[in-house]
Copies of this chain bind each other. A is one copy, B any other.
Amino acid sequence: MKMSGGVEWGLHCCVVLSGAGAPVTAAKLAELHDVSQSYLAKQLQLLSRAGLVRSTLGQSGGYVLTRAANEITVLDVVEAIDGVQPAFRCTEVRQRGPMAVPAERCDTPCPIARTMDSADRAWRESLRRVTIADLIADVNRTTPPEILSGAREWLRA
């Protein structure tokens, strides 16, 4: 099981956009992260389609978050980029073969599917509890201050 690598980029972009305090172009985001513009553009498009970022026009145009950083959860970003479908998909194995349970008697989900679903909910719940604002606070606490201020200056330049 592997999540889209775009999730790491998307979350880092949201943290940068929130910390920048001004619109940042896709080109600048790509350069900051040393990643191809076309790859990053794809992730920004997914974030934009989910209504988490938007691009502003004009000379100082670029991407901004559409909401306050404490109103965007990590789950929002993960679902925007990796989709909302649970990793486990029940194909109704129980309805197959000579001893199949007839479809009309499968009105409740299979106990196996229920177990997988509740783990999926626990996972999403955990990601829903953390916002971009929490990440920023953590980044500010754990990153050397000269690197943070350097990055902010570089973004404005």
Q: Which residues of A contact B (CB under 8 A)?
A: 1-5, 7-9, 11-12, 15, 31-35, 74, 82-83, 85, 87-91, 93-94, 96-101, 105, 108, 111-112, 114-116, 118-120, 122-127, 130, 134-135, 138-139, 142-144, 147, 150-151, 154
Indicate which residue in B1, B83, B139, B154 contacts A98 across the interface (CB closer than 8 Å).
B154
From A15, which residue of chain B is reached at the shortest CB distance?
B112
Tallying the copies of this chain within the complex gives 2
Q: Which residue of B lies closest to A136 (CB)?
A: B111
- How would you classify the secondary structure of chain A's contact residues: helix, strand, loop or mixed? helix
Given contacts A3-B1, A115-B135, A119-B123, contact A151 B15 (CB under 8 A): no
- Smallest CB–CB gap between A42 and chain B, Å? 16
Report whether A118 and B126 are in contact in the complex, using a CB–CB cutoff of 8 Å. yes
> What residue of chain B has the Cβ atom nearest to residue A73's Cβ?
B115
Q: Do A33 and B96 have beta carbons less than 8 Å apart?
A: yes
C-alpha gap A109/B7 in the complex (Å)? 16
Closest residue on chain B to residue A2 by CB atoms: B87
